[in-house]
Amino acid sequence: MFLGDTPIGHQSFSVNDDGATSTVTITARLDVKVLSFSVYRYTHDDTEQWRGNCLANLNARTDDNGEQLSVTTETTESKLIAIGKTGRVPLGDCAMSFAYWNPQILQQTHLLNSQTGELQQIAIAEMGEEKIQVRGIETQTKRYRISGLKKPIDLWYSNDGEWLALEAIVAGGRKLRYQLE
């Protein structure tokens, strides 16, 4: 993760697929410093179970600069419900989180925020093809924009559907960028 050109942390995810279900483990750590003093810290730990492209279970904990947040899900009468800061939110038949690793999110109109438990209405627009640096190599990509949020998020995917980068404008108009290493 970069804020402008300054490295501020990392996000990692691993996918363990046993055929019927996939377990995805996501961790994010960032620490924004000014003159070697931390001015913003963020940690996020998220474990998700998926059946195909549908979220089956989620357990997430976030420390957003001291604000402790958690989101869990439960299944009642075969319906998935998110429980978080916004209360109990029914998720419908096949919900997805902001699972950037899965290009199927580009087909969604709602995504579950794993920090708050809110089901957010979104729109996805294809922004065209673009070359970006990936692991030091100029790579042809497809760029998409998620809007409907407080601030839009731009995503870059390879022609094979691999998530390569993310960019958003954050407080102070600075760019937050995730890029594959």
- Determine the pLDDT at residue 158: 95
Question: Of all residues in the chain, what percent carry a pLDDT higher than 90?
Answer: 75
Q: What is the DSSP letter of 97?
A: B
Contact 141, 133 (CB under 8 A): no
Q: Please say if the pLDDT value at position 168 is more than 90.
A: yes
Q: Please say if the pLDDT value at position 78 is more than 80.
A: no
Q: Please say if the pLDDT value at position 153 is more than 80.
A: yes
Give pTM, 2 decimals.
0.90
Contact 178, 166 (CB under 8 A): yes
Q: To which residue do tokens 């699972």 refer?
A: 99
Q: Please say if the pLDDT value at position 124 is more than 90.
A: yes
